[in-house]
């Protein structure tokens, strides 16, 4: 039964993330090229957060009977992470091996490595944050600070991605690692706190 619950949640997570990425891609197409990167980061943050919370609330509305709500959150996170990697990172990984690299990153590390690392870090964040937020949305409002922190960390991940291009790839990677560490620690704290 638990496996089927996780499968349903994973499918829902994949669909919601696919919708988010599709909307972001459409926004990318209509924006003037000189402003795409800066405006896209804002749209990415807003659209993905709205769709993520809508998905969490919706899936819980239909799955209140689930005994392990954290399993639902984990499934949503896995689904979103898989969709993120397949739709977003894999095409960039393929493009970054050519002469006309899509990302203007550090040639010493290599574009392939940076894109793959970013995808890994983002996937860790998605899985942990979905798992934690699924629990937090079922708790009282005094725990809203945790939700705010997770949303802020998502914004920080997007900023780290921009830093990879315009500031320093080393600073961007360091920030992503720091965000992942904070996210994992917070997730374990929340899972321990709500273990009963």
* Residue ranges of domains in the chain: 2-193
The more confidently predicted of residues 67 and 43 is 43
Cα dist from 193 to 66, 70, 75, 188, whole Å:
19, 13, 20, 8
CA dist., res. 30 & res. 83, Å (int):
23
Residue 9 and residue 69 in contact, taking contact as beta carbons nearer than 8 Å:
no
99 has a pLDDT exceeding 80:
no
Token pair belonging to 127 = 């899985």
Q: Is the sign of the CA dihedral 154, 171, 21, 91 positive or negative?
A: negative
Q: pLDDT band at 93, cuts 50/70/90?
A: low
Averaged pLDDT, 50-56? 76
Residue 31 and residue 94 in contact, taking contact as beta carbons nearer than 8 Å:
no
pLDDT (0 to 100) of residue 40: 64
pLDDT (0 to 100) of residue 68: 62
Q: pLDDT band at 100, cuts 50/70/90?
A: very low
Token pair belonging to 152 = 């802020």
- Taking the complete model, does pTM exceed 0.75, yes or no? no
């Amino acid at each position: 039964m638990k496996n089927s619950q996780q499968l349903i949640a994973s499918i829902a997570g994949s669909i919601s993330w696919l919708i988010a990425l599709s909307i972001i891609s459409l926004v990318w197409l209509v924006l003037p090229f000189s402003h795409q990167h800066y405006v896209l980061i804002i749209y990415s943050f807003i659209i993905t957060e709205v769709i993520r919370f809508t998905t969490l609330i919706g899936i819980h509305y239909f799955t209140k009977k689930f005994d392990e709500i954290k399993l639902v959150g984990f499934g949503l996170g896995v689904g979103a992470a898989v969709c993120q990697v397949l739709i977003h990172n894999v095409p960039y990984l393929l493009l970054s091996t050519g002469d006309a690299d899509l990302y203007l990153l550090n040639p010493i590390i290599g574009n392939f490595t940076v894109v793959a690392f970013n995808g890994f870090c983002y996937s860790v964040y998605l899985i942990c944050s979905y798992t934690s937020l699924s629990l937090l949305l079922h708790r009282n409002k005094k725990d809203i600070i945790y939700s705010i922190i997770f949303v802020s960390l998502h914004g920080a991940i997007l900023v780290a991605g921009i830093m990879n291009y315009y500031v320093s790839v080393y600073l961007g990677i360091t920030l992503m690692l720091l965000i992942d560490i904070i996210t994992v620690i917070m997730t374990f704290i929340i899972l321990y706190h709500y273990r009963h």
